[in-house]
Structure formats: C-alpha cells, structure tokens
A and B are shown apart, each in its own frame.
Chain A
C-alpha cells in the first residue's frame, strides 16, 4: 500500500501544486513566488517520475515503461521552459499567475495518466479533462471575446458528447475496457459498424485535442491572439500526451482495425498537412504561422502513424521528437523579442530584428530551416526518415502531396526571414534575458550532437517503441 502511494508521488506533488495555487489568494510577491513554487514542484515531480518510471501507478490500468518516461520527460521539459520564461511577462503585466500554473499542472497530471493509460475509461476521462483544461486555458486569456468563448464551449460539449458516445457502446456490449482484452473483443467484432463508429469518435477527440484539421479552426484563430506563455504552452505541452496516448491506443487496441482506419488516418493527415501549409502562407501573424505549421507537422506524424507498424511508429516518433526539440528553440527565441514589455505578434513588428538581435534571429532562421528539413540541421534527419518510410511503403502520391505542401510552408517561413533580415528596423527591442541565450545555445548543442551521432536517437527510440510492440 505504502509502496503504491510512493509510486503515486509525482501525481500527488502535482495535485498538491494545484491545491496550493487554488488556495493562494494573496497578490503579494506575485507572480515570482508562484513560478518559483511551480518550478520546485515540477522538478520534484519529474524526479519522482524518473525514479519510479517503470512502476505502474495503478496496477493493470496504467503501465510504466521507457516510453512513458521519455514522453513525461519531454512534457516536463516543455513545462519547465514555459514556467522559466513566462515569469517575467506575468511580472511586467502584474498579472496573477495562479490560474496559468493550475492549467499547466492539470495538463501534466492528466497528461502523465494518459501517457501511461492502458484502460479505455481512464484514457477517456483524461482526454475529457485535458480538453476542458485546454478550453479553460484559452478562455483564461480570451475572456473579452465572447464569440471565441462560444466556439470553445461548443467544442468542449461536442468533445464530451463524442467521448460518451464513443465509450458507451463498449460498456453496453459488455466489453472489457482494459486495452489487451478490448483488442481481443475488437478482433472478434471487426465488422461491427457501431464499434467502428465508437473508435472513430474517440479518435476524433484525439484529433481535437492535438489540434488536427479540420477541427483546428478555433485553436489556430485563438493561438494567433493569446499571450506568448499560453501560446508556448499549447505548442509544447498538450500534443505530447495526445501523441503518446494515440500511439498506445494504436498499438494495444486498434491494430485489428488497421485496414479500416488507414484511410481515416491518411485523410485526416493530408487535410491537416494541406490546411497547415496553405493556412500558414496566408498569415501575417507569427504565432498564427507557427500554429498552422504545428498542424502541418502533427499531420505528418499522423500520416506516418497510419500503418501501426514498428518502423512507421519509430519514423513518426523520431520526426515528432525532432519537431518538438526545434519548437523548444523557436519558443525560446520568441521570448527573446520583446518591445516595451510586450511580445510582438505581427510580422511587421519583427522588421529588421536581425540587426538588433543578431544571434537570436540567426537561431530562429536555423530553427525554421530545420523545420523545413534543410541539412545540416536536425530537421533533415526527421524528413529523411519520413520520406524513406513513405517511399518504402510505396505511398508515392502522399509523398508528392507532401513535397508540394513543403513548398507552400517554405513560403510562409520565408516571410518571417524576410521580416527579420530584409526589412528596415523601426522598433527598439528590450534587452533579452541571458537565460534565453543559454536555453537556445543548449538546444542548439543538443541538436548538433544528435545530428553528429543520429544513431543514438534512432537506436534509443527504436528500442523504446520496440518494447511497446513486444
């Protein structure tokens, strides 16, 4: 019993943090203290996660593996970077950061559970909590805009209805909701239309949570206007739990439905890639461009995941990890540009920034080229594994479409580079924190090392994902 409680300690620490932030009504010394406490709790929780990474939180309902560890690490790292950089903004705006910290902690709490879950009910509950939490986080910075609020409310209600609709048939038909047993049940009822509809409903919620097209609209529109801390949160943290949960579901439950779901996956992925690339081209707001680009990149991950095989899952995960590492860098760079205490939104605000902040701008350009798969950046490795996977499995049309969309996405990134380097400078940027340089440099070093010795990345991820297939 005590042993089980110790295994629960990462979640208890997060719960403790949530409670503390909820009870904290004092405005004094806010938000520095708030972020300090959040960082300490995050570090403690992560430490416990690492120590007990192979111990299941709830026997039978969750699993502990290297896969959960690596996803938790990525999620905590994202949250830590977020907390580290956000504190200055909250301080300069004199805003209460409790709600923000609660949102991040809830995501970590349910995200960790979703990553480790091997029980459909737990997965569904975590997904519902995460969707509601995301909506609250968006509402938190969008309270003035009623129209956006309605969109959020509508999507949350739809998500909950779909979740209930997707899970009930399994329950009513007497299926066990444990992944392994559920898979056996699905194998015997492969032609059951209602069952397929239920699976599709659950997958739709995953899509909504990750922010894939065509359910992206509210998310991208809002991300274009939210504050940078919230934007960074949405770019870095939620998708990790979503992708990991989806990979678990694919491998443990949905393999029997592979032939039927292939078209669904490919369709969603191609729509996301298309909308992400074309949408980014039409934007003049840097955060919107990056939000659309996120749809594009997550669409690619979805595209490779469509085969549920070890090689494709590894390729997808390698691509995703590289994308995430690059986005850590991009977000850190965005925190380096500040005009009179505010983070700029529009591309025109970045005009001539390279002459004011040459190193940060150069790193942003390198990260953007990495996202486009330009060698010798780490992104090339992700793109190479992606294209090799598509060609090996004879998906020539999908590859052609992807290449065309890469051109469109390249255009949107060029507009950012154009603003940074080829336009005249008007604005005076505030002094960037030294920690931003440190984080960007560390990120660049990590990426360079992985590029020089890519076999470590491939071997480690192949072994980790291979364990799931074993």
Chain B
C-alpha cells in the first residue's frame, strides 16, 4: 500500500512530462492537467477508504543518499489525504474557469502541475529533508505563474515577494541542517522532539522554522507583497494557487507543532497569538473597506488561514480534525468564488459594462455565487459551519478575548462578502441589455453543482464520500 503514496507523487510528475511534450496552442496540456488531477483524486479516495481509522497511516520509506540516517519517508493519514483532496479539487475547479485562450497556455498549465506535485510532496513528507525539498519547491512555480499571468507593472513587487519567501526558505534550511546535525541524520517530523539539542540551538531551530511558515502566511507586516501581486492575477488557476501558498505555512506549523514544542518556545505563544489577532482584525477591516471582490476574497482567505493557524497553536490536538474538515471546505469555497468572480470579471470586460448588477443578468452564475458566499459567510449549509463552531467554542474556552476577536473578524469578513454580493446584484450603473450577457455554460454549471452537492452533504458527514 506504501507504493500508492509514491504513486500520488509520480502521477503529477508524469503529467508535467506529458504537458511539456504537448503541442503549443493546443488543448492537450489542458486535458493532461484534468486527467492527472482526476487520477490523483481517485488515488486519494482509494487511500481514504484504506485508511479508515483516524490514527492509521500508510508509509513509504526509501534510502536516498545511500548511508544510514538519510532515509526519506512519505506517509498519509486521513487528515493529510483530506487536505490533498482539497488541493486537487481546488485546482480542478480553477481549470474549469479557464478561458479558451488560457486553456492553450501550456506554460501556466505545466507550472500548475508542477505546483501540485510539490504540494503533494509537502503534504505527504514525513521527514525534515523531504519536507524542506517540497516546501522550497513550491516557490519557483508560484513566482513564475505570477510573473507570466500577473500584472507586469508590479515586477519589482514580485521580486520582493520572491526574495522575502526565499529568506523564509533559507531560515528553514538552517533549522533543517541544525536538526540534521544534532539528530545525526534525517529526522522524522514527529521525532524532532527527541533531538537532543542545547536550549539555545533548539530555540534557533524553532524560530527558523516558524519564520519560514510565517512568511508564507501573510501575517502583518509581511502581508503586503503577496496581496499586491496576487489580486491582479486574471488566470483562475494561478489565482487559486497563489492563494494556496499560505496553506503551506499552516500545514508546516501543523506538522512541527504536533511533534511538541520546547517549553522556551511555548512561552512565546501569547506573542504569536497577539500578532495573529491584530492581523486578523486588521485584514478584516481592510476587506470591509475595499470595493474589489478579489481583495475581499484575499482578506477572507488570509483571515481563515490565520484562524486555522491560531487554532493549531492554541488548541489541543483533538481539534486538529475539525481544523482540517473546515480547511477542506474553505479551500473549495475559496476556489469556487475566485473562479466565479473571474468569470464575471471577464464578462464585464468583454461587454464593457459595470461590475455592479452583473449577477442580475447572469442567473446561473448568480445562484452559484450566492451559495458559495453564504457558505463563506458562515451559514449552516456545509461542514465548515459545524467545525468552525467547535473550533471557536474551544477558543472561547482557551481565552474569552481570543474567541471574541476571532468571531469578530470572521463576522466582519462575512459582512464584507455579503456586501459585495449585494453590489453585484445592484442594478445602478449598469448599461447593457440582459440578452447581451452570456451566462456560464452548462458544463461549468454542472461542475459547480457537483461541488455544491459535495459541500452540502458534508454538512451531515464530512467524510461521506469515503466508502
């Protein structure tokens, strides 16, 4: 069964190869992407059916450098499989939102598959070297995607984004090398706590790792670069992938935090919590103030990632499943909203009409859009409601102020999204006929309806699709 884990890594690589060999200005690369993601989704579903117990896991080990202590370990459990499923489904949703021209952009499709490969590797990595390898590997495809599909006027900002992330990567490298030295080889993430390090070195290692994860999450004052480069991206897949980058930070914290933190680091938790809370509210207010849906969506994703991060840091391990269930729904909702907004945006550009009231003219899009905004705003129509409820209750138990602060930020960003929904229904300023606007296609509507069914059924059982 361990080979199935390896298969999860091999399929996207093969997909990259086929996409590379595909003809230019053809749809082959697009179909390769779809097929690759579907293969991985079925593999994950198969593995989910095998890993039924919450504590069960499947591992695959191989010796890389040939000497003792350098074994590479990959493994999956229910939670990591669910995150993987969320990633694949998000990218798949992004692919459905591509325009005819974007479907022929071989480079962006290739980079997307490469990103998926790295993301898979990061989530299945169980030792520090492979974790570092895939954590770093995510940076080049995101950088290239932003450069190729983004706003070329912000190249200097993109360079800063890369350098800033690279600095985080190097701090993780330092942490990994220190751990390698003191453990006398490659250490499993869960065994980091067993590494016998001097206290000061231990603190440095943890600071290095935390810095690497924090730069991925746009925590204040590091939020600016990623927001300024990502909101201008018009390619749905690139937009979804860029907004998935903070997930790597949250996942990193989850992996490292789980293996127990030194007491000296635990003392700094209040500081991290204060920083996180300040950012969460600050970004919620920014989201409320902006008039652009993409910026609101960016604020929404940042707030939720920080919310999950805080939950990982301050709550007990038994709430981790709730975090992952909520994260799974959140990723799909975020991807769907990004795609639907970009479709509406594209229609506005083509028809030279105002963004206001566009949903009034696109009834199909309108229904889908409203459903996803309602889920994002926290209405009880998906598993996100239950799981957020459990997490926030636990946060209230941990500290009343933290709970109030989190719920305020979530409510504020929910308001911001609902306000934007109202704006998109508001007819003032629109100057086109209803017949001139083309609604989304049947095929797209079917895909999104399927997503809605998946999310709605998850309200009753988050793992209903596992047999």
By DSSP majority rule, is chain A's interface helix, strand, loop, or mixed? helix
Q: Are A418 and B181 in contact (CB under 8 A)?
A: no
Kindly list the 8 A-B residue pairs having the minimum CB-CB distance in the complex, ordered from nearest.
Answer: A455-B66, A375-B133, A422-B147, A387-B177, A403-B170, A391-B177, A391-B181, A414-B159
Bits for A359-396, please: 1 = Cβ < 8 Å to B, else 0: 00000010001000011100010011001100110000
B167 within 8 A of A: yes
A182 within 8 A of B: no
B138 to chain A, nearest CB (A): 11
Q: Are A369 and B65 in contact (CB under 8 A)?
A: no
Bits for A175-192, please: 1 = Cβ < 8 Å to B, else 0: 000000000000000000
Query: How many residues of chain B get a CB closer than 8 Å to chain A's CBs?
Result: 32
Chain A residue numbers with a CB within 8 Å of B65 are 454-455, 458
Give the one of B107, B133, B136, B170 with max A CB within 10 A: B170
A399 within 8 A of B: yes
B119 to chain A, nearest CB (A): 14
B158 to chain A, nearest CB (A): 8
Q: How far is the CA of A459 from the CA of B133 in the complex (A)?
A: 22
A130 to chain B, nearest CB (A): 36
Q: Are B177 and A414 in contact (CB under 8 A)?
A: no
Q: How far is the CA of A387 from the CA of B174 in the complex (A)?
A: 8
Residue of B nearest to A400 (CB): B174
B140 within 8 A of A: yes
- Do A407 and B163 form a contact, CB below 8 Å, given A388-B180, A422-B155, A455-B66? yes
Residue of B nearest to A381 (CB): B65
- Do A375 and B132 form a contact, CB below 8 Å, given A387-B173, A421-B144, A421-B147? yes
Chain B residue numbers with a CB within 8 Å of A423 are 152
Residue of B nearest to A394 (CB): B181
Q: Are A410 and B66 in contact (CB under 8 A)?
A: no
Q: How far is the CA of A414 from the CA of B148 in the complex (A)?
A: 14
B433 within 8 A of A: no
Chain A residue numbers with a CB within 8 Å of B67 are 455
Bits for B159-195, please: 1 = Cβ < 8 Å to A, else 0: 1001100110011011001101100000000000000
Bits for A447-460, please: 1 = Cβ < 8 Å to B, else 0: 00000011100110
B388 to chain A, nearest CB (A): 36
B137 within 8 A of A: yes
What are 24 A-B interface contacts by the 8 Å CB criterion? A358-B107, A365-B144, A374-B136, A374-B137, A380-B133, A383-B173, A384-B177, A387-B173, A387-B174, A391-B180, A400-B174, A406-B170, A407-B163, A407-B166, A407-B167, A410-B162, A410-B166, A411-B163, A418-B155, A421-B148, A422-B155, A455-B64, A455-B66, A458-B66
- Do A391 and B178 form a contact, CB below 8 Å, given A407-B170, A410-B166? yes
Residue of B nearest to A399 (CB): B174
- Do A388 and B163 form a contact, CB below 8 Å, given A399-B174, A407-B170, A418-B147? no
Q: How far is the CA of A403 from the CA of B169 in the complex (A)?
A: 10
Q: Are B133 and A418 in contact (CB under 8 A)?
A: no
Q: Are B152 and A410 in contact (CB under 8 A)?
A: no
Chain A residue numbers with a CB within 8 Å of B139 are 374
Q: Contact check: which of B137, B155, B180 meets A375 at CB < 8 Å?
A: B137
Q: Are A376 and B133 in contact (CB under 8 A)?
A: yes
Residue of A nearest to B67 (CB): A455
Residues 303-336 (chain A) with a chain B CB within 8 angstroms: none
A425 to chain B, nearest CB (A): 13
Q: Are B147 and A410 in contact (CB under 8 A)?
A: no
Bits for A421-455, please: 1 = Cβ < 8 Å to B, else 0: 11100000000000000000000000000000111
Q: Are B137 and A454 in contact (CB under 8 A)?
A: no
Residues 127-147 (chain B) with a chain A CB within 8 angstroms: 129, 132-134, 136-137, 139-140, 144, 147
Chain A residue numbers with a CB within 8 Å of B136 are 374-375, 380
Chain A residue numbers with a CB within 8 Å of B158 are 422
Chain A residue numbers with a CB within 8 Å of B134 are 375
- Do A369 and B140 form a contact, CB below 8 Å, given A376-B133, A391-B177? yes
Q: How far is the CA of A414 from the CA of B157 in the complex (A)?
A: 12
Q: How far is the CA of A376 from the CA of B136 in the complex (A)?
A: 9
Chain A residue numbers with a CB within 8 Å of B152 are 422-423
Residue of A nearest to B164 (CB): A407
Chain B residue numbers with a CB within 8 Å of A411 are 159, 163
Chain A residue numbers with a CB within 8 Å of B107 are 358
Q: How far is the CA of A423 from the CA of B140 in the complex (A)?
A: 18
Give the one of B139, B152, B166, B178 with max A CB within 10 A: B166
Q: How far is the CA of A288 from the CA of B137 in the complex (A)?
A: 28
Chain B residue numbers with a CB within 8 Å of A453 are 66
Q: How far is the CA of A403 from the CA of B208 in the complex (A)?
A: 12
Residue of B nearest to A355 (CB): B107
Q: Contact check: which of B140, B171, B178, B180 meets A374 at CB < 8 Å?
A: B140
Q: How far is the CA of A410 from the CA of B167 in the complex (A)?
A: 10
B228 to chain A, nearest CB (A): 16
Residue of A nearest to B146 (CB): A422
Q: Are B162 and A414 in contact (CB under 8 A)?
A: yes
Chain B residue numbers with a CB within 8 Å of A375 are 132-134, 136-137
Chain B residue numbers with a CB within 8 Å of A403 are 170-171, 173-174
B420 to chain A, nearest CB (A): 31
A403 to chain B, nearest CB (A): 5
